[in-house]
Amino acid sequence: MRRLTGAGVSHGVALGPAVMLMQNPLVIRFAIPEDRVEHEVVRLRDARERSKRQLREIGARLDLRARAELRYLFDAQILMLDDPLFVNRAEDLIRTERANAEWVVWRACSGLAAVFDEVEDPYVRERKGEVADLSGRLRMNLRRARDGALFDEVEDGAVLVADQLSPSIAAQIDWTRIQGFATDAGSRTDHTAILARSLHVPAVMGLMDISARVAPGSMLVIDGTMSEVLIEPSADQVAEYRDRRERWVAVKKGRERQGSGPAKTADYLEIRIDANIERVADVEAARQQGAQGIGLFRSEFLLAGGDGSAVAASEDAQYELYRQLVDQARPDYVTVRLFTEAALDEVAGELSARELRGIQLRALLRAAIHGPLRILVPTVSGVGDLRQTRTLLAESQAQLEGRGETCGPLSVGAMIEIPSAALTADMLAREADFFSIGTNDLVQYTLGASRSEPRAAALYEPLHPAVLRLIRQVLEAASRVNVPVALCGEMAADPVALPVLIGLGLGTVSMNPAAIPTTKQIIAQLRAETLRAVTTRVLSLATAAEIEEYLAHCLGRDPRDELPLGSAAEGAQT
């Protein structure tokens, strides 16, 4: 038995087999039962074949667009997929270490990348980036093939060990199945620590290197009250902590997640929660998690698998997908984000991006007769983009009516994800039926930061005063003309940012379906009256660091306390 001491950020006891998560990149590792080893090998082989088909299709599209000189980049990735250094290594790892395929891909690709590090030729070393791209594609195909939520293959009663755990990932975890967590990094004032306390999930953070000390499947005890983790405890210790765990669970009863109804604050303000999804099959999962509607359907994912160019060019194929989407979501609305310019450029062949957009709009107009359907215009920079879409929509409707087709009504929304759109929100509000704030890109473009670029990641601060003021400006402009506003970025499920957003007057959020139950729990502990006072104070602070510190004081005091904003305005008076 080994005992590690860290920062106990949320009281309670959790014990069970360890499941591992490495967040950069996001890789989950857990032990595979002996009778599922060959099944996991088959999953890996299927993902390889799917990836090879996609790479060949990309190369074929490049040929059609007279960009054959770029095809070698994707041919090289196909060769990597057939390289015994990768293939044999990956399958051996599954069989010898009984590891899941997602982790094996990351491990094998890391080994392949290390080979490039040893090459002296700088041109060859630059090809290391293609290994990372290939790794991401394989893991994407494995994830889509698994067709489930985060940790869906993990047995109930496990505990999570991670190098770090961001709020956006923590909010997607079913904490009725994962009993608690321990991390290398973190402290009591982290957003994830505050989330753990609000959900009463036992947690110890700041353990430095626990992710390197623990093997998947190891028995762990996480004692958030005593700020310690026991690795491979004795049978007597397991019995003692299991008894303490049962007493803790008895106390925790009654604090569990809300049901399928709307989210309400402690003083009965209703907050609408919609879901962000990528596939028609996700509608039912979103409804089960308590979503009231589909706030964002990322239509570009229709182009990601199979022959994307064929899907984009086929009005009937798109119509059938949107019809199924509306049928499954009815009576709730569905919001379809139109193909982005980047997605259209990827599949454009003989047809122009404008022609492909027209095909999509005709398919959506036809599908709108089956139920409430809204379209969201992406990357709006100003009124001109919205007017251009409305013009093309009118042309598409005229074409359908000329064919004798019936068109349904489509609400047209503007996605506010570029500062210029936020700054002209008063003008956009006079021409849009609704707004959806995409905070992931809004933060990046406002601050010149990127979550994926290590050198700029430190600049990515969702609670920066400039970001909050832009969001306030959008909400105020929309409110003056009664235009509904939703927010669909990661801030929606952030346990620290969400109270500020509600305090600003936001009434609708949209998020990954798995994050909805947790978000409902957080909202139920908040008082809207208090949040308005807290937000007034937040908007007077000069830096993101000052805002973080103030909110940590309001939200994250002693882990035995309930969330202070749920019962008093003391934090707002500090």
**What span, in angstroms and rounded, lies between the C-alpha atoms of 342 and 347?**
9
Give CA–CA dist 272/282, Å, rounded.
19
User: Could you tell me if residue 500 is left (phi over 0), alpha (psi between -120 and 50 degrees) or otherwise beta?
Assistant: alpha
State how beta strands 334-337 and 294-298 pair: parallel
Q: At 98, phi and psi to the nearest 5?
A: 50, 50
- Give burial (CB, 10 Å; 0-12/13-18/19+) of 212: exposed
Contact 164, 206 (CB under 8 A): no
Count the Cβ atoms, other than its own, within 10 Å of residue 268: 8
Residue 191: active-site member: yes
Provide CB contacts within 8 A for 85, sequence distance 6+. 111, 112, 115
SS3 77: helix
Largest CA distance in the chain: 79
CA atoms within 13 A on the CB side of 33: 5
What does the alpha-carbon distance between residue 124 and residue 76 come to, in Å, rounded to a whole number?
12
Of these residues, 191, 200, 370, 464, which one is catalytic?
Answer: 191
Q: Under DSSP, is residue 439 helix (H, G, I), strand (E, B) or coil?
A: helix
Q: Could you tell me if 507 and 272 are in contact, meaning their C-beta atoms sit under 8 angstroms apart?
A: yes
How many Å apart are CA 248 and CA 159, to the nearest integer?
16
Q: Are 278 and 298 in contact (CB under 8 A)?
A: yes
Which stretches within 330-458 are classed as H helix?
Answer: 341-347, 353-367, 383-402, 419-423, 425-429, 439-447, 454-457
CA–CA gap between residue 321 and residue 311 (Å, rounded): 10
3-state secondary structure of 136: helix
Name the catalytic one among 109, 407, 488, 554: 488
Spell out the SS3 assignment of 138-188. Answer: HHHHHHHHHCCCCCCCCCCCEEEEECCCCHHHHCCCCCCCEEEEEECCCCC
Per-position DSSP letters for 289-306, written without gaps between them: TT-SSEEEEEGGGGGTSS
Tokens read off for 156: 């109930």
Which residues are tagged catalytic?
191, 488
